[in-house]
Amino acid sequence: MPVASGSSNLTLVILGLLNAGIVAAVLTGTRLPLLKTDRAAFIAVFVLGMAMCSIGMRVGKFSWTSWSMIFGAVVGTALLAFSLSVMFGVKQPHIANDRVAVLVLAGGMGFKVLVDVVRHLVA
């Protein structure tokens, strides 16, 4: 299985910075040209996160049965289920609006990235 290359690492950094910029815009109430609503920002964060996840998988270095791959799959599945429920309008406790949903999604994605960074530091 392929391992992420230097160019894919650069792509991950660029996508991560785009995601961080969108989240910062939501936090400050800034409206970006193509993302005029919090729902549009949520969808953009979701799409960028899915792209980051698919690019960043390093199955060649860590097997499918390693704790980090299983953890990433579980957290990723939970974030996917959360995102789809928000997009389809399923009411959830403590999620008052799309702005809160953006922050929850970004927090989950940040946690997943943090665990991946720690995994690479200890490996």
Q: Return d(Cα 106, Cα 79) in angstroms, integer.
A: 10
Q: What is the pLDDT of residue 86?
A: 95
pTM of the predicted structure, to 2 decimals:
0.85
Cβ proximity of 1 and 69 under 8 Å: no
Delimit the domains of the chain by residue range. Answer: 6-122
Which pLDDT tens digit goes with each residue over 7-43?
678 888 899 999 999 999 999 998 888 888 999 999 9
pLDDT band at 48 (very low <50, low <70, confident <90, very high): very high
Q: Return d(Cα 120, Cα 76) in angstroms, integer.
A: 18
